[in-house]
Amino acid sequence: MATIEKLDYDVRTIENAPENSRPALEAAKKAYGFSPNLLGTMANHPALLKNYWEGSANLDANSTLTGVEQQVAFLSASYENNCHYCMAAHTTIGQMHKIDQSILDALRAGEPIADTKLEALSQYVKATTVKRGRVSQDDIDAFLEAGYTQENILEVITIVSLKVMTNYINYVAQTPVDAAFEPNTWATK
């Protein structure tokens, strides 16, 4: 696949973002101590930023997966979508969740995870991403047999939809990786 040249999107700040983007940027700064470049790039289109910010908060409030499982899912979708920014960010967040480094390394390399349940989750997320939601009955059966539920299937769709927003914008904008995530910079697959 050929790469595109970076489109010229400003990484907006609270001071220069469109008015409807400012509340999310302010909330991010309050929550994280900084406003990530991803959100600053999304701020160029307030509807995109608001949908992502509120969708992420809704997922956090209603998740059926553990924090570790969510990060495995985010990394699996981001790997398949070849997102340099999200791989760095979610690796860092995974480390904050104390995910074993061997799991993070496997996800970053596209290799199997030794933990069979997490591997089943990763494979199901990858199938959902690559097949654009048109998973097979075998994909579903393997996921359910690993101990996941039908509700978890719906959460995977939610996670993949959030990653579509972030992975796609990072691709077209070539969003610069924040200093906080730079130790986990990832080269595309």
What is the domain partition of the chain in residue ranges? 12-62, 65-184
Q: What is the CATH number of domain 12-62?
A: 1.20.5
Q: How far is CA 154 from CA 36, 72, 100, 107, 160, in A?
A: 27, 16, 26, 22, 10
3-class DSSP state of 59:
helix
Q: How many whole angstroms separate alpha carbon 181 and alpha carbon 184?
A: 6
Q: How many whole angstroms separate alpha carbon 128 and alpha carbon 41?
A: 26
Q: What is the mean pLDDT of residues 129-148?
A: 98
Domain boundaries 65-184, CATH class: mainly alpha
Model confidence band, residue 8 (pLDDT cutoffs 50, 70, 90): confident
Question: What's the pTM value of the predicted model, to 2 decimals?
Answer: 0.94
CA dihedral 118, 122, 125, 128 (to 10 degrees): -120
Condensed to tens digits (0 to 9), the pLDDT of residues 80-117 reads: 999 999 999 999 999 999 999 999 999 999 999 999 99
Tokens 């289109």 identify what position?
45
Which residue, among 121, 115, 159, 117, has the nearest Cα to 140 in the 3D structure?
A: 121
CA dihedral 145, 150, 154, 155 (to 10 degrees): -60
Give the per-residue pLDDT at 188.
77
Q: Does residue 13 contact residue 35 with C-beta atoms inside 8 Å?
A: yes
- Decide if pLDDT at 57 tops 60: yes
